[in-house]
Amino acid sequence: MLPGYDRQVRPQDDLFTFANGQWLRTTQIPADRSRYGAFQMVDEQAQQHLRAIVEDSAARHGTVGSPDQQIGDFYTSFMDTARLDALGAAPLKASLARIDALASPTDVVRYLGASVADGTSSPVALSIDQDSRNASAYIPGVSQNGLTLPNRDYYLKSEPQFVTIRDQLRAYTARMLGLAGVADPDAAAGQVIGVENRLAQIQWTAAQDRDATATYNKFTVADATARTPGLDWMTYLDAAGVPAGDFIIAEPSYFTALGTALTAVPLADWKSYLKFRIIDDLSPYLSNDFVTARFEFRGRDLAGQQEQRPRWKRGVTAVDDAMGDLLGQRYVQRYFPPDNKRRIDALVTKLIDAYRSSINGLDWMSDSTKAEARDKLSKLNVKIGYPKKWKDYSKLRVARDDLVGNEIRASQVEYRRNLDRLGKPVDRDEWFTTPQTVNAYYQPTRNDITFPAAILQPPFFDVNADDAVNYGGIGAVIGHEISHAFDDQGRKFDGTGNLRDWWTPQDVQRFTARATALAAQYSAYEPLPGEHINGELTLGENIADLSGLTVAMRAYQLSLGGRPAAVMDGFTGEQRFFLGWAQVWRGKIRDKELRVELLSDPHSPTEFRADGVVSNLPEYYAAFGVKQGDKLFRLPDQRVKIW
């Protein structure tokens, strides 16, 4: 258990502050961050580890094509600020000329497809993923994209804070276009904002985009083109190097409207917009005037950061983004003891056993749906620490004097890797993160959970901590990821990853009633004056938090074998379990970043993750003697239990 709890606060009223109060009072968010807490503390340590790895490689001056050369020269190219400042906007020249040459809406569509490989953002996001209704095969898919601000709400809301950020966006756009040498940058910025406003008006909401059924729309190329006049999909896919076959359109109404916009919006406006997109995308890899402008808008104005992150941190992140598995191999060798993996393997097994027991004991689910749920649980693929097979970067050419080129070539290598999936069997062992990433995730089309090495350390997991704290920490995180298999969207997929309805209609109704009640609980929370949590947007994560903690408590109780847990530091085992949970969510956040989170993040703010869940758990009431009149008390018939 971490220090920093506050006995002046009653855990019956505010478990989050009881567990973290002293830390909250004495900790300031670092000037170069928009939030700070348990995840960021672990990330800081991972950053230091990666810095050592990267600087070691740079010092070795490896032979051309070797991992040391690739890592070292990429980092060197990022840290050579004198060269970058001397180059100024020159690295953008070819890209901007390419856009200037566009002569028709068809040329724009062709450009949108061709630029995907370079990592350029646009109104169309292209991916190669599993087919949700045939999880044994890959299929191309497109989804909405192309806004500078976090999501459509920033363009559509009329409150003063959103008007201010839109004014700042326009100034930022003009500033960047001017730095790049675009003629009449103020007028061009107006064109860019006009395009983005139009895109925002036709995009789906973040909550709508979570719906796995609504976003699965398979089309032939001919049918899709008929649906989206003005957007010729044969032209787009051919330019992107994608074979002309069936593909998924996530938001059909958006793409119908986008097709109209491609011909209705003047070509000059599209060209200004596309220029800004590539300038903004590449600005971290350009001279200091671009970097400063980007920080002052994206970091300061949008997220509330007071200072730019140190150059070395940004350099390490750039290398990590470009060739994460090369760093990951070294990270695991240095910083992930084999015993950690064995301990987590055993803990995951206990959590799965507890989940199975929970399914068996549900009083609202039919036997037939329970059987399907147990089958799905039995097929869950667990990935811990690091992948079985590392990515190959041998085709990536890295030059110590070409940062923008390095970034683009890294994007191209990754894009070709994704394209090569088409027509091949799905690799169930593939990872979509790196071992040094402080995160964990569930993938419904693979029915797998992944726990990278970096998250398997304090405060999430501590080999020296007592079981109560570990079950409340990493145990609840494991339970959370398992629970995504059974949240409001994960439940729509079966054990092999196919989008298939395996529930009885009655069970769907009973599940939906419970989920709706949970969404209403969270929608009542008001983290900023007048700004509430979106209970629909955050529903999947809130279900996973609630169910994960419930199952982690069950696993902890089973681990005791009927024996009472020892009292430590004046806390019972059950109390330490809940303190471990609350300290996982230890954190502070700037108001601007919190506003971004409320509008676009499917996770609830940390204090509400800690307190919102426990207010529904009878074990919490028993552990701390919570009674009517306490602030976290809910009447028994208002407490939600799903899994």
**Contact predicate 67/393, CB 8 Å:** yes
- The tokens describing 102, both together, are 């566009």
Pairing of strands 218-219, 124-131: unpaired
Kindly list the domain boundaries of the chain, sorted by start residue: 15-30+336-389+429-638, 90-285
Query: Tens of pLDDT along 309-323?
Result: 999 999 999 999 999
Would you tell me the crossing angle of helices 403-419 and 311-335 to the nearest 10 degrees?
Answer: 50
Whose CA is closest to 183, among 245, 297, 271? 271
Q: Is the peptide bond before 150 cis (omega within 30 degrees of 0)?
A: no
Specify the pLDDT at position 339: 86
Write out the H or E segment, with its range, that includes residue 451. strand 448-452
Distance CA 316, CA 261 (A): 39
Is the pLDDT score of 331 beyond 80?
yes
Is the pLDDT score of 2 beyond 80?
no
Whose CA is closest to 546, among 522, 567, 562, 566? 522
In the DSSP assignment, the letter for residue 465 is: S
- CATH class of the domain comprising 15-30+336-389+429-638: alpha beta
Quickly list H helices, 362-491: 367-378, 403-419, 467-470, 476-483
**Contact predicate 28/589, CB 8 Å:** no
Specify the pLDDT at position 365: 98
Residues 6 or more apart in contact with residue 542 via CB below 8 angstroms: 518, 519, 522, 535, 604, 609, 612, 613
Which of 1.10.150.240, 3.40.50.11540, 1.10.1380.10, 3.40.50.970 is the CATH number of 90-285?
1.10.1380.10
In the DSSP assignment, the letter for residue 531 is: B
Specify the pLDDT at position 134: 98
Is the pLDDT score of 432 beyond 90?
yes
Percent of the chain scoring above 90 in pLDDT? 96
Write out the H or E segment, with its range, that includes residue 111. helix 105-114
Sheet holding 441-443, edge to edge: 381-385, 448-452, 441-443
CB atoms within 10 A of CB 188: 24
Task: State the Rg of the chain over Cα.
Answer: 25
Specify the pLDDT at position 464: 86
Is the pLDDT score of 3 beyond 70?
yes
Specify the pLDDT at position 76: 98
Q: What is the pTM of this model?
A: 0.95
The predicted model gives 173-186 an average pLDDT of 99
The predicted model gives 42-62 an average pLDDT of 97
The predicted model gives 592-620 an average pLDDT of 97
CB atoms within 10 A of CB 584: 25
Is the pLDDT score of 1 beyond 70?
no
Specify the pLDDT at position 159: 96
Distance CA 514, CA 547 (A): 12
pLDDT tier for residue 4 given thresholds of 50, 70 and 90? confident
Is the pLDDT score of 160 beyond 90?
yes
Distance CA 330, CA 319 (A): 13
The predicted model gives 243-263 an average pLDDT of 98
Specify the pLDDT at position 180: 99
Query: Tens of pLDDT along 446-475?
Result: 999 999 999 998 889 988 889 999 999 999
Quickly list H helices, 420-474: 467-470
In the DSSP assignment, the letter for residue 301 is: I
In the DSSP assignment, the letter for residue 140 is: E
Specify the pLDDT at position 457: 86
Would you tell me the crossing angle of helices 539-559 and 573-584 to the nearest 10 degrees?
Answer: 150
The mean pLDDT value of the chain amounts to 97
Query: Tens of pLDDT along 504-525?
Result: 999 999 999 999 999 999 999 9
Distance CA 574, CA 600 (A): 34
The helix/strand/coil state of 380 is: coil
